Amino acid sequence: MTLFERIVAREIPSQIVHETEDFIAIRDIAPQAPTHVLVIPKKPVVRLAEAAAADEALLGKLMLGAAEVARKLGLERNGYRLVVNNGRDAGEAVPHLHLHVLGGRAMTWPPG
């Protein structure tokens, strides 16, 4: 099981900020912004590049879920960034698809 599967199964404690039947949103343990939340599907999908057509609805729910989390955390007014890391060179640390919701400060471009 990946770290995120263990969090979803409640084997590892986390600070949950939002949850639905499809995903869990938790505070990142090493935040890169004042607000940094991970939106993690409960169904394990290794990474975006390995998502299948059958995952289309889940991917949409993750995007809408990230927007709901941002609203809930008050990020909508000034903006926020969504990040998906796909592969080691992109910064993927856990082989389980997830979205990073980052906000609470001005973001720079280009990232990384």
> 35 lies in a domain?
yes
How many distinct structural domains can be found in the chain? Answer: 1
pLDDT at 110: 87
Q: What is the pLDDT of residues 18-48, one digit of tens each?
A: 999 999 999 999 999 999 999 999 999 999 9
Predicted pLDDT at 111:
82
Closest CA to 4 of 21, 23, 30, 32: 23
- pLDDT at residue 112 in the model: 67
Give the CATH number for residue 21.
3.30.428.10
Residue 63 lies in a domain: yes
What is the value of pTM for the model shown?
Answer: 0.95
- Residue 39 maps to a domain: yes
Is 112 part of any domain? no
Question: How far apart are the C-alpha atoms of 12 and 53, rounded to whole Å?
Answer: 30
Residue pLDDT tens, the chain, 112 long: 999 999 999 999 999 999 999 999 999 999 999 999 999 999 999 999 999 999 999 999 999 999 999 999 999 999 999 999 999 999 999 999 999 999 999 999 988 6
Tell me, yes or no, whether 109 lies in a domain. no
Inside any domain, residue 17: yes
- Catalytic center residues: 98
Give the residue numbers spanning the domain of 37: 3-103
28 inside domain: yes
Residue 87 lies in a domain: yes
